[in-house]
């Protein structure tokens, strides 16, 4: 693992645990800031820089300061909106379960240390229609839905209302539907119900596994598990049994080893390095390669070599992404979706003139041997102990 990635991990640990941090050697602060910004951890790392009196170039110190303040503001805005929405749930007697960041951010030393790209909430979907006018009144815009959640967005807050905890693609729906039903059946405080802490940890492990497979993993997915597994009420006999039933035992071992090696300062094992390299790979080429491998696997759906049709389909999907992904790049589309055809024309032209390197990388990736791509991807998945989940995905898409 390169020196800059090790520096980032040291700074995150220092910021979270308020521990002393000493850095040595040449450090690329441009790279480090870029990783922290993409991973939504600038607030944690800035805290470590400030607490340890670490001297960094003034222009990057300023970037960290400004983004950390933005993180605090975003965190407060997200909490305010969620509190308001949760009060509406109570008024309308809609049962709900806070998931992921909506729950675990309160386990962190400071809530702004756990930034949320989106707020996940499981709700009684029979009453979903009652929420639509409330979301519109609050200024949220409906984005779309998939097989397990509906999405709404306003400024820095995106809310995903879950009708299932996990997509059916990974073969774990029955397990986590049972976890949600168990939470809703317990005596709740008002309309709010929480997953049993053992189920929340199990769910976070499955969610981390899903993101490893799709290539969209972040360091926050890993630190969530650090805080969840540190809760004293964990029933490890139940957890061990549940991990075995879901095929996540080996993956959980890799995750726990990575956390132990990271926070104890031990030498990283091969599996730990593989996991951290997958999480923190944020160069444009590495990111595109990671997402390409995951996309090829998903399009491949268990076949040994991707067909010409699936390759063309993937290329078209990258050139003309669905509305939701386009709106993520061009926010005006949330308010004016009718402009989508205009941006379909503008996007490739913009890429051609402003980022010709990305065009060359795209062409290079799509002419290489997909069999080699698939082989390396499967090696990575097996090293992380995800072969069972990958096999479930393949079987569900044959």
* 373 in a structural domain: yes
Query: Could you tell me if residue 371 is inside a domain?
Result: yes
H-helix or E-strand spanning residue 143: strand 141-145
Q: Residues 385-391: what's their mean pLDDT? A: 84
Q: 332 versus 18: which is more confidently predicted?
A: 18
Give the per-residue pLDDT at 202.
96
Residue 325, in any domain of the structure: yes
What is the structure's pLDDT at 374? 73
Domain presence at residue 26: yes
Quick one: pLDDT at residue 352? Answer: 72
Q: Does residue 283 sit within a domain?
A: no
The values of phi and psi at residue 92, to 5°, are -95, 5
102-141: b (≥16 Cβ within 10 Å) or e = bbbbebbeebbbbbbebbbbbbbeeeeebbeebbeeeebb
Q: Percentage of the chain surpassing pLDDT 90?
A: 42
Q: What confidence tier does 370 reach under pLDDT thresholds 50, 70, 90?
A: low
Burial of 186 (0-12, 13-18, 19+ CB in 10 A): exposed
What pLDDT score does 362 carry? 67
The C-alpha atoms of residue 308 and residue 319 are separated, in whole angstroms, by 16
Residue 314 is assigned to a structural domain of this protein: yes
The answer to whether position 238 is within a domain reads no
- Which residue segment(s) compose the domain that 7 sits in? 1-56
pLDDT one-digit tens code per residue, 34-92: 999 989 999 999 999 999 999 999 999 999 999 999 999 999 988 998 998 899 888 88
Range scoring the smallest mean pLDDT among 38-47, 54-63, 338-347, 374-383: 374-383
CB 200 within 8 A of CB 234: no
pLDDT digits (tens, 9 = 90+) for 195-250: 999 999 999 999 999 988 888 889 999 999 999 999 988 999 999 999 999 999 99
Q: Are 40 and 117 in contact (CB under 8 A)?
A: yes
Confidence of residue 271 (pLDDT cuts 50, 70, 90): confident
Mean pLDDT of the chain: 86
| 97 contacts 119 by C-beta, under 8 angstroms | no
Q: How many angstroms separate the CA atoms of 198 and 239, rounded?
A: 6
Would you place residue 303 in the very low, low, confident or very high pLDDT band (cuts 50, 70, 90)? Answer: low
On whether the CB atoms of residues 212 and 278 are closer than 8 A, the answer is: yes
The answer to whether residue 376 is domain-embedded is: yes
Number of domains the chain contains: 2
Residue 398 has pLDDT above 60, yes or no: no
Tell whether the model's pLDDT for residue 307 goes beyond 70.
no
């Amino acid at each position: 693992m390169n020196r800059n990635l090790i520096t980032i991990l040291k700074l995150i640990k220092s910021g979270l645990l308020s521990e002393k941090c000493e850095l040595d050697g040449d450090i690329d602060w441009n790279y480090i800031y870029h990783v922290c910004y993409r991973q939504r951890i600038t607030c944690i790392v800035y805290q470590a820089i400030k607490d340890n009196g670490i001297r960094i170039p003034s222009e990057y110190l300023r970037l960290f300061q400004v983004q950390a303040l933005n993180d605090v503001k975003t965190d407060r805005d997200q909490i305010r909106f969620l509190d308001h929405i949760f009060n509406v749930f109570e008024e309308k007697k809609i049962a709900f379960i806070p998931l992921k960041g909506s729950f675990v951010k309160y386990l962190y030393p400071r809530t702004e240390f756990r930034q949320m790209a989106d707020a996940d909430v499981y709700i009684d979907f029979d009453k979903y229609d009652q929420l639509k006018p409330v979301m519109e009144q609050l200024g949220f815009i409906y984005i779309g839905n998939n097989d397990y959640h509906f999405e709404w967005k306003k400024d820095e807050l995106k809310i995903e209302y879950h009708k299932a905890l996990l997509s059916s693609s990974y073969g774990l729906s029955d397990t986590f539907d049972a976890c949600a039903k168990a939470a809703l059946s317990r005596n709740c405080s008002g309309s709010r119900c929480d997953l049993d802490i053992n189920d929340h940890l199990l769910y976070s492990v499955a969610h981390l596994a899903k993101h490893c497979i799709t290539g969209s993993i972040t360091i926050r997915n890993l630190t969530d598990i650090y805080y969840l597994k540190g809760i004293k009420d964990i029933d490890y006999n139940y957890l061990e049994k549940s991990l075995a039933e879901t095929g996540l035992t080996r993956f959980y071992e890799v995750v726990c080893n990575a956390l132990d090696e990271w926070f104890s300062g031990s030498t990283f094992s091969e599996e730990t390095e593989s996991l951290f390299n997958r999480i923190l790979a944020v160069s444009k080429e590495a990111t595109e390669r990671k997402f390409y491998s995951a996309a090829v696997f998903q399009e491949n759906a268990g076949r040994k070599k991707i067909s010409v049709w699936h390759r063309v389909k993937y290329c078209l999907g990258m050139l003309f992404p669905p509305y939701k992904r386009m709106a993520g790049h061009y926010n005006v589309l949330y308010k004016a979706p009718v402009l989508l055809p205009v941006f379909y024309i503008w996007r490739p032209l913009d890429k051609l003139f402003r980022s010709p390197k990305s065009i060359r990388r795209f062409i290079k990736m799509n002419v290489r041997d997909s069999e080699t791509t698939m082989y390396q991807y499967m090696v990575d998945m097996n090293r992380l102990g995800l072969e069972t989940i990958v096999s479930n995905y393949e079987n569900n898409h044959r």
